[in-house]
Chain A
């Protein structure tokens, strides 16, 4: 075949150009991540640097009077609120999520793939405001009627988040259980173990890093979720004394107050500090997941 020299140099140039373009795209991800960290950090630190509020007061005081002459931005109640609502939500969704993952892989493969898998994907896809809206119109009145109080409560937040984290936990655990080699199950069955014994003593232990990852991812999602929680917890800046009391979380106070504050005020700076806190927590979750994943994954 004859060679067209001009075409030849053109496609070699395209080869270099393409390589550069995709490299820049990948670099952009680093640039965005780094600038996100830089911007949020620099804004978030101004509470402590510019406004002279101590980190100790911010993290460990519950006095939240950001609009006073001498503003107090103690945020402990938000931090505790976020922890309470997420941890309790995970305590409900983790057992359910892992169980349904086991059902899909170990018990009813066909049914699982045909019905449960798509159902889980739809669960994931439902927007958080819709979860919040249903929580607000169904769950809140229900709690108020049957358990007393206003209904806007820690309990409502927990239940909404349990539903929202369930699909995350299910799908990640499913992947990890699926990736286990068939041989280890066969080995167990060959020794005369029942299915339940195989699941309990072989499958779950072997899939543990993956299941742990799933639970941490669920926790991260619960921690970062803003609107659905904000819509049902009542947004009172206090630590709830029971499941039925209203409360606030880090995300809910940011959502509520960001629009009402002036950039540069102590109030506004405190919200940025809370955002920085969220960012640090979310990054910590990622690091934990990496450490868990590196340890003892089944290969």
Chain B
């Protein structure tokens, strides 16, 4: 009889833990959104921050975050996909494969502040670029590559072998099989992975403090000359992102409404991450359904 009682107690315990976590998450999210609610408007999202006075926005920071995300994805997705293809389709068990695997694991658990310092040394100082978008993007690439490699490798591995055989049996080369059959079949998984990593890149701050910098020159959106310091297209300008801004406002915020600004920025950041998350799920399931023909 005793064992049944213990079983009951245990079950109740597990329910309590699970409920607690859900309630905690919901209250965390609602709290952040509630605190930032007054700032979730176009004006706040587009206007530049103000120094020492009330009413500044986060326009340049939001723009920088998006631009940095795009540049990072442009660099890291092809390389990560390539490495994933290599690991899933070409790598033979052996020392080299083992070293690549160890590299991926090491990089993916490397503290982002350390990666940031590496970026400071290589992409900021050695290249002479200074704090810049491109230095930030390359640093984020170092952070994102192992994740991208793993996501691609896993998705490619899960493509059934029968598709590869069918392609080979028709006389295609290995590369044709990979490009025309395997990678397209792995696409739903890869795209879901890209969007989820995008959320991570968007929220990253520690690796950017000393690479993309903690200041943002005023941007002139009609200036499309990539060498001009105020042009949004200039990848050598320093570019503070939204996540970095939240950190900075807390430590050295000079505007009287610094608290509200950070509240608003945190809400925006959270919303973006939630959107990435939902988008990934939605797109993943749509692509999957289309692929399996149950439209």
Q: Which of B91, B99, B114 contacts A278 (CB 8 A)?
A: B114
Contact of A115 (CB < 8 Å), options: B7, B20, B22, B109: B22
Q: Decide if B221 is an interface residue (CB 8 Å cutoff).
A: no
- Contact between A33 and B106 (Cβ–Cβ < 8 Å)? yes
How many interface residues does B have (CB within 8 Å)?
93
Residue in A closest to B22 when the chains form the complex, CB atoms? A119
Q: Which of B40-48, B49-57, B157-165, B203-211 contacts A (4 or more CB under 8 A)?
A: B203-211
Using CB atoms, name the residue of chain B closest to A223. B111
Would B246 and A251 count as touching, CB distance under 8 A?
A: no
Is A53 an interface residue when CB atoms closer than 8 A count as contact?
Answer: no
Given contacts A22-B82, A133-B250, contact A29 B274 (CB under 8 A): no
**Residue B134 interfacial (CB < 8 Å):** no
Query: Which of A40, A122, A227, A251 makes the CB contact (< 8 A) with B274?
Result: A122
Partner of B174, one of A15, A99, A103: A15
Measured CB to CB, the closest approach of chain A to B4, in angstroms, equals: 6
Decide: B99 and A36 in contact? CB cutoff 8 A: no
A137 at the interface (CB under 8 A from B): yes
Known: A23-B86, A39-B118. A197 touches B113 (CB 8 A): no
Chain A binding surface SS class: helix
Contact, CB under 8 Å: B113 / A116: no
Contacts across chains A and B counted by CB atoms under 8 Å? 257
Which among A30, A112, A223 is the interface contact of B103 at CB below 8 angstroms? Answer: A30
Majority DSSP secondary structure for residues of B touching A:
helix
CB distance from A174 to the nearest CB of B (A): 12
Q: Does B37 count as interface, using CB distance less than 8 angstroms? A: no
Task: Check if B21 sits within 8 Å of A100, measured CB to CB.
Answer: yes
A138 near B31 with CB under 8 A, answer yes
Q: Identify the B interface with A (CB < 8 A).
A: 3-4, 6-7, 9-11, 13-15, 17-18, 20-22, 24-25, 28-29, 31-32, 35, 78-83, 85-87, 89-91, 99-100, 102-107, 109-115, 117-118, 120-122, 125, 142, 145-146, 149, 173-176, 178-179, 196, 199-200, 202-206, 209-210, 214, 243-244, 246-247, 250-251, 259, 262-263, 266, 269-270, 273-274, 276-277, 281
Which 3 A-B pairs have CB atoms at the shortest separation, nearest pair first? A127-B203, A224-B111, A25-B82
Known A-B contacts: A126-B270, A286-B102. Give 13 more (CB < 8 A). A26-B87, A26-B91, A34-B103, A99-B13, A108-B18, A116-B18, A129-B205, A130-B32, A137-B259, A224-B111, A254-B113, A255-B206, A278-B114
